[in-house]
Amino acid sequence: MIVKQKFGNTGHLSTRVIFGGAALGNVTQAEADQTLDVLLKYGINHIDTAAGYGESELRIGPWMEKHRDKFFLATKVFRRRYKDAVEQIEQSLERLGVSTIDLIQIHNLTDPKSWERVMGENGALKALVEAREQGMVKYIGVTGHGYGVAEMHLRSLHRFEFDSVLLPYNYIMMQNPDYATDFENLYTICMDKNIAFQTIKSLARRPWGKKERKWNTWYEPFEEQSDIDRAVHWVLKREAIFLNSSSDIHLLPKILDAASRFEIKPTDEEMPEKANQLGMKPIFDGRSLLLE
């Protein structure tokens, strides 16, 4: 089983590994249901999906008929304007087959112009706040990618009291000094304010480049269990953060197996050698962005 901890100020005891619903974007319902069996086996009680993850919400919907009380359910809106966001929230409720979503998040809020639109008078944030007031959602979060995301999350937290943040975190990315500084500043503020801190891209080894894509991930992931163990344990050794699993259902059992055995804490001293041996490279270029 996976250790649980409070998900920020929500008070919910979430497993430290959160199921990344992007893994269900292009699978059959039968494959999705097999994935549910894996989640139940390890006691995973928190799902993170998005309106933009293909068929993911539709695949999760049938699970909610029998297991709604077992999961803290989170999704995301990618629309930037009020009216469009209202419609997307309503669609997500219908697709998920639920009356209430535990956490609604603004998807990939990293572009300054988009940020101004979302935060404006007729922006998407207004729709999320209204949905919370109407009981359609309980909590509001923000997510993002790229080297500028931590800085943008700090900006977002100065404007609004978000309940959660989500951003990349792995060894090779933290070797970028500017990103590491922004990340640490964001982490400190979130810990002080009890804001849930979710991380993604734990298994990122390097960009795919011209290689044939063997996995349903936006980066070449670690494949060997020992390498996955190291990557997962490196993330989990950071107190109070959550690891959102990767976007391939076939990697999920290995991630959960690693998390269930979290005892070894790889040191930063051993990571440079391993990073060199495994050919680890950043998956983001400069301040560029990728979808979750």
Q: What is the mean pLDDT of residues 138-163?
A: 97
pTM exceeding the 0.75 threshold for the entire prediction:
yes
Selection from 217, 255, 249 nearest residue 236 by Cα? 255
Helix (H/G/I), strand (E/B), else coil: 121: coil
129 sits in the region (left: phi over 0; alpha: psi -120 to 50; else beta) called alpha
Q: Sorting pLDDT into bands at 50, 70 and 90, what band is 288?
A: very low
Domain boundaries, the chain: 4-203+222-263
Give yes or no for residue 243 having a pLDDT over 80.
yes
- Measured CA to CA in angstroms, residue 24 lies from 43, 113, 199, 217 at distances of 18, 31, 19, 12
CA 236, 102, 144 angle in degrees (round to 5)?
A: 55
The pLDDT assigned to 264 comes to 67
Give the pair of three-digit tokens for residue 251: 């990697």
Give the pair of three-digit tokens for residue 89: 């929230």
Give yes or no for residue 292 having a pLDDT over 80.
no
Q: What is the mean pLDDT of residues 82-94?
A: 98
The residues pairing with 206 across neighbouring beta strands, listed in sequence order, are 220
Decide: residue 226, CB within 10 A, 0-12 exposed, 13-18 middle, 19+ buried. exposed
Domain 4-203+222-263 is in which class?
alpha beta
Q: Sorting pLDDT into bands at 50, 70 and 90, what band is 291?
A: very low
Specify the residue for token string 């989990």: 236
Give yes or no for residue 251 having a pLDDT over 70.
yes
Question: Helices 112-119 and 124-133: crossing angle, nearest 10°?
Answer: 40
Residue 70 DSSP symbol: G
Q: What is the mean pLDDT of residues 245-254?
A: 98
